[in-house]
């Protein structure tokens, strides 16, 4: 596979297959076009003489119906859109590789999990769930984390999320959940937001949502970067070994850059500053050669061990605490190539949890079982034909042979008279192989009668949310309580707000009190009845977020504000030191081109008004006093500093900047340092100044 560095800087004039065709024909058109580019043609290959004017009867007369060039162009344009995904419509993706570092041969025959050192191509798509394809990147939402492994035994899709549990226990409830969270059908808003009545109405009536909900109210749902998110396969799957024995497995992705999130005010402002914040961040990192990497890890456990868990592992609203079953890192994924074309790849890729390879099998998780049906079904209407598996992004990269024929948009030309089995006419036609073929685990399920029944072992809805809550530090708890307040404050129906706070009382009285107080409730609403007693689990440090932030400048982006008269050597010193530690640096100024002290011209990366500080992890400023005095009058410039301060970022500033800092109410603390203290600034830029928060924000 070509690497990004090999591709960087090259612009493709024509899709490669088109170029091949032209070359293959030794087309004269190539020569006519002076060899530097091909001649523009219609889809039928007819050269286009003029791409500006349609064919008219007279210069001012009507356009002629016979203008096949115009008609073809407009017709194609009219059909360029396909239905967007019903969920996960907004996505960003990249190519890369997966490399196994530890073999699981004891547990599975899957070659992708047994052949150490083999590099398997992958295509990974991250997404928000609720918003449409054109919605923003930074709403509060669960993120999709879908990986297609093009293995030597066929495509394996691990279609996961960045939160390890899901809202509901049964696929039957999925359309209801999604109808509730999407924009309300009569008014068509809000877009990409869960803070509205229908979502919380559904939640308030479905106690099984409580666990995923508390994760979604944490800062996990407002990630800083797609590169800094964990990924989870959520459901239990099975691994099957040579002897046909099964071991349960949960799959995890761990970002090498550590986990990092934004704070809510920052996420909200990012929606205005840059719709494409996450997509751009992923693109820029890959283009810069800072390839995002994740460790791949598994939790392995037997049926007997599962029987001892104080919850049912087949219930997707439950996770298996790492303290109970530790993670075993077995591989690494690196994303190193941006797609050539968003539509052909990111949009047309079709993930499906049912795409699975020999040696891996499903579990009886009822949510997983429903998913096994839904994805292919939706893809048939989204992509319009069962032949979507022939699209380059979906086609396996291993040899394949089948008897599926015909259908809309058949791109292949299958040869021969045989498209069935058994047959005796064509010895080389494909045949099923018991030895190599996929075999389902011969599970013995014999624990009750048929019926529309929810297992009793699925009835405990509050113990794990409580465990999550008590595992958070003070800052994380304050953010969680505050997001409940924010979201519920947008729900205009009092009984829904009260019902949710009632549920929170089963998780933690203090949480319920804080949310009730934030909403101005005169007294705590009653807690609803619950089916089983809440169990008291010990805290699970692994579910925390702030402790998983990494003390590094890698993946961080630092802005340096300069203007006319700024000292170039101070700028260089800071920039070099930051870049040396792996940070990306962008120079910002009131104008796109400035004159440094000494008269030297500098073209900067962005203009101040278009580069608000929410786009950066830390900011520095090198301003002459007279420039700072001017900027002091500009609310945007003052906001650049006050936002960085309120979002708990490190700030380095020269003496000249002081007037704006004062106006922005930036007060000295460990994260506000003089520009000369490069080491101190870079140290502070690796983290957020959590201790500053009580002074800048009222939290629940």
- The answer to whether 316 touches 351, Cβ cutoff 8 Å, is no
**Size of site (CB under 6 A) for ligand HDE:** 27
Q: Does 253 bind ligand HDE (CB under 6 A)?
A: no
Is residue 644 within 8 Å of 612, Cβ to Cβ?
no
CB of 127 vs ligand HDE, minimal distance in Å: 5
Range in contact with ligand HDE (rule: CB under 6 A) among 273-281, 286-294, 372-380, 459-467? 372-380
Residues 314-333 that bind ligand HDE (CB under 6 A): 316
- From the CB of 570, what's the least distance to ligand HDE, in Å? 45
- State phi, psi for 534 to the nearest 5 degrees: -75, 135
CB of 215 to ligand HDE, least distance (A): 13
Question: Closer CB to ligand HDE, residue 203 or residue 367?
Answer: 367
For ligand HDE, the closer of residues 174 and 200 by Cβ is 174
Q: Long-range contacts of range 301-308, CB-CB < 8 Å, 24 or more positions apart? A: 301/247, 301/248, 301/249, 301/325, 302/247, 302/248, 303/246, 303/248, 306/236, 306/248
What minimum distance in Å lies between the beta carbon of 161 and ligand HDE? 4
Q: What does the alpha-carbon distance between residue 79 and residue 41 come to, in Å, rounded to a whole number?
A: 19
User: What's the rounded Cα separation, in Å, for the pair 634 and 672?
Assistant: 21
- Which of 237, 351, 616, 645 is close enough to bind ligand HDE by CB under 6 A? 351
Rounded to 5°, angle at Cα 539 from 536 and 542: 140
Q: Is 146 in the site for ligand HDE (CB under 6 A)?
A: yes
Which range, of 81-89, 239-247, 255-263, 572-580, touches ligand HDE by CB under 6 A? Answer: 81-89
CA 440/CA 620 separation, integer angstroms: 59
Counting contacts by CB under 6 A, is residue 378 touching ligand HDE? yes
State which of residues 166, 215, 484, 616 lies at the interface with ligand HDE (CB under 6 A): 166
> Closest distance between ligand HDE and the C-beta of residue 383, in Å?
9
* Distance in Å, CB of 355 to ligand HDE, minimum: 11
For ligand HDE, the binding residues in 82-121 under the rule CB under 6 A are 85-88, 91
The reply on whether position 135 binds ligand HDE by CB under 6 A is: no
CB of residue 503 vs ligand HDE: minimum separation in angstroms?
21
Cα 278 to Cα 223: distance, rounded to the nearest angstrom? 9
User: What is the SS3 string spanning 89-140?
Assistant: CCEEEEEEEEEECCCCCCCCCCHHHCCCCCEEEEEEEEEECCCCCCCCCCCC
Q: Does 374 bind ligand HDE (CB under 6 A)?
A: yes
| Residue 267 lies near ligand HDE (rule: CB under 6 A) | no
Do 357 and 437 touch, CB atoms closer than 8 A? Answer: no
By CB under 6 A, name the one of 236, 355, 379, 475 that touches ligand HDE: 379
Between 211 and 686, CB nearer to ligand HDE: 211
**b/e map of 131-151 (b: 16 or more CB within 10 Å)?**
beeebbbbbbbbbbbbbbbbb
Stretch of 34-42, 181-189, 283-291, 369-377 contacting ligand HDE, by CB under 6 A: 369-377
- Please state the closest distance from residue 79 (CB atom) to ligand HDE, in A: 20
Mark the segment that binds ligand HDE (CB under 6 A) among 157-165, 236-244, 499-507, 573-581. Answer: 157-165
Question: What minimum distance in Å lies between the beta carbon of 157 and ligand HDE?
Answer: 9
Residue 132 makes contact with ligand HDE by CB under 6 A: no
Q: 166 vs 484, which CB is nearer to ligand HDE?
A: 166
Distance between CA atoms of 693 and 177, rounded to whole angstroms?
Answer: 34
- In the set 69, 122, 234, 646, which binds ligand HDE (CB under 6 A)? 234
650: helix, coil or strand? strand
Give the C-alpha separation, 562 to 593, whole Å.
10
Strands 246-255 and 231-232: antiparallel
For ligand HDE, the closer of residues 175 and 668 by Cβ is 175
Residue 558 · residue 618 · CB < 8 Å: yes
Q: Where are the beta strands (DSSP E) in 177-267?
A: 231-232, 237-240, 246-255
**Cross-strand pairs, 184:** 189
Q: Which residue is nearest to ligand HDE (CB)?
A: 144
Query: Facing residues of 251 across strands?
Result: 298
User: Residue 161 in contact with residue 367, Cβ under 8 Å?
Assistant: no
- Contact string 185-224 vs ligand HDE (x = CB under 6 A): ----------------------------------------
Indicate which single residue of 94, 112, 216, 367 sits in contact with ligand HDE (rule: CB under 6 A): 367
Chain centroid, CA 298 distance in Å: 20
Q: Which residue has the tokens 């020269």?
A: 654
Could you say which of 160, 223, 359, 565 contacts ligand HDE (CB under 6 A)?
A: 160
Nearest distance, CB of residue 472 and ligand HDE, angstroms: 23
DSSP per-residue letters across 426-458? -TTS----TTTS---------SS--SS---GGG
Which of 155, 161, 387, 394 is catalytic? The answer is 161
**What is the rounded CA–CA span in Å between residue 591 and residue 123?**
40
Q: Which of 248, 291, 375, 616 is close enough to bind ligand HDE by CB under 6 A?
A: 375
| 461 in catalytic set | no
Q: 204 by DSSP, 3-state: which?
A: helix
- DSSP H or E segment with residue 678: helix 678-685
Whether 88 sits among the annotated catalytic residues: the reply is yes
Stretch that binds ligand HDE, among 11-19, 97-105, 156-164, 552-560 (CB under 6 A): 156-164
Active-site residues, by number, are: 88, 161
Binding site for ligand HDE (CB under 6 A): 85-88, 91, 125, 127, 144, 146, 159-161, 166, 171, 174, 234, 316, 349-351, 367, 370-371, 374-375, 378-379
């Amino acid at each position: 596979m070509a690497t990004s560095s090999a591709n960087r800087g090259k612009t493709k004039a024509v899709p490669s297959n088109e170029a091949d065709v032209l070359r293959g024909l030794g087309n004269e058109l190539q020569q006519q076009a002076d060899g530097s580019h091909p001649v523009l043609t219609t889809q039928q290959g007819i050269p286009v003489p003029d791409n500006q004017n349609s064919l008219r009867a007279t210069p001012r007369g009507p356009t002629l119906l016979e203008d096949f060039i115009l008609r073809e162009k407009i017709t194609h344009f009219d059909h360029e859109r396909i239905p967007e995904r019903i969920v996960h419509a907004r996505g960003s993706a990249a190519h890369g590789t997966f490399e196994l570092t530890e073999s699981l041969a004891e547990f599975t025959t899957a070659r992708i999990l047994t052949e150490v050192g083999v590099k398997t191509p992958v295509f990974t798509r991250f997404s928000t769930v609720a918003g449409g394809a054109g919605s923003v990147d930074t709403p509060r939402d669960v993120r999709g984390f879908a990986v297609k492994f093009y293995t030597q035994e066929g495509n394996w899709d691990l279609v996961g999320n960045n939160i390890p549990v899901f809202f509901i226990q049964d696929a039957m409830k999925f359309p209801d959940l999604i109808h509730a969270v999407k924009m309300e059908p009569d008014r068509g808003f809000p877009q990409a937001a869960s803070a509205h009545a229908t979502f919380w109405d559904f939640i308030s009536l479905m106690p099984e949502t409580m666990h995923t909900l508390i994760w979604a109210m944490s800062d996990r749902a407002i990630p800083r970067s797609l590169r800094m998110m964990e990924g989870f396969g959520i459901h239990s799957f099975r691994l099957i070994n040579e002897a046909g024995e099964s071991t349960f497995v949960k799959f995890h992705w761990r970002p090498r850059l550590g986990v990092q999130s934004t704070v809510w005010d920052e996420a909200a402002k990012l929606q205005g500053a840059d719709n494409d914040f996450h997509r751009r961040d992923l693109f820029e990192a890959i283009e810069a050669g800072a390839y995002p990497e994740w460790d791949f890890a598994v939790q392995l456990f037997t049926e007997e061990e599962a029987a001892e868990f104080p919850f049912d592992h087949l219930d997707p609203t439950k996770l298996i605490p790492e303290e109970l079953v530790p993670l075993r890192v077995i591989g690494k994924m690196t994303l190193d190539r941006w797609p050539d074309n968003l539509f052909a790849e990111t949009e047309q890729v079709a993930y499906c949890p049912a795409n699975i390879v020999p040696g891996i099998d499903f579990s009886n998780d009822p949510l997983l079982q429903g998913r096994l049906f839904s994805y292919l079904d939706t893809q048939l209407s989204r992509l319009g034909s069962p032949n979507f598996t022939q699209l380059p992004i979906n086609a396996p990269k291993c040899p394949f042979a089948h008897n599926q024929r015909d259908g809309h948009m058949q791109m292949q030309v299958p040869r021969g008279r045989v498209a069935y089995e058994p047959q005796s006419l064509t010895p080389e036609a494909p045949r099923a192989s018991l030895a190599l073929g996929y075999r389902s685990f011969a599970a013995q399920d014999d624990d009750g009668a048929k019926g529309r029944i929810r297992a009793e072992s699925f009835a405990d809805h509050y113990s794990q949310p409580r465990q999550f809550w008590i595992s958070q530090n003070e800052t994380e708890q304050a953010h969680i309580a505050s997001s409940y307040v924010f979201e519920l404050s947008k729900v205009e129906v009092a009984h829904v707000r009260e019902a949710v706070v009632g549920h929170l009382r089963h998780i933690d009285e203090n949480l319920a009190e804080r949310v009730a107080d934030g909403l101005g409730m005169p007294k705590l609403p009653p807690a609803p009845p619950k089916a089983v007693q809440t169990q008291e689990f010990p805290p699970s440090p692994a579910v925390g977020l702030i402790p998983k932030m990494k003390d590094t400048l890698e993946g961080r982006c630092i802005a340096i504000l300069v203007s006319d008269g700024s000292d170039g050597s101070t700028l260089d010193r800071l920039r070099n030191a930051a870049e040396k530690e792996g940070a990306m640096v962008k120079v910002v100024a009131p104008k796109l081109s400035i004159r440094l002290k000494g008269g030297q011209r500098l073209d900067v990366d962005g203009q101040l008004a278009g580069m608000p500080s929410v786009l950066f992890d830390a900011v520095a400023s090198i301003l002459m006093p007279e420039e700072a005095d001017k900027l002091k009058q500009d609310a945007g410039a003052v906001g650049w500093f006050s936002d960085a301060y309120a979002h708990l970022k490190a700030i380095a500033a020269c003496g000249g900047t002081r007037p704006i800092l004062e106006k922005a109410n930036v007060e000295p603390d460990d994260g506000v340092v003089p520009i000369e203290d490069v080491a101190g600034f870079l140290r502070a830029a690796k983290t957020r100044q959590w201790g500053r928060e009580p002074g800048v924000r009222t939290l629940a």
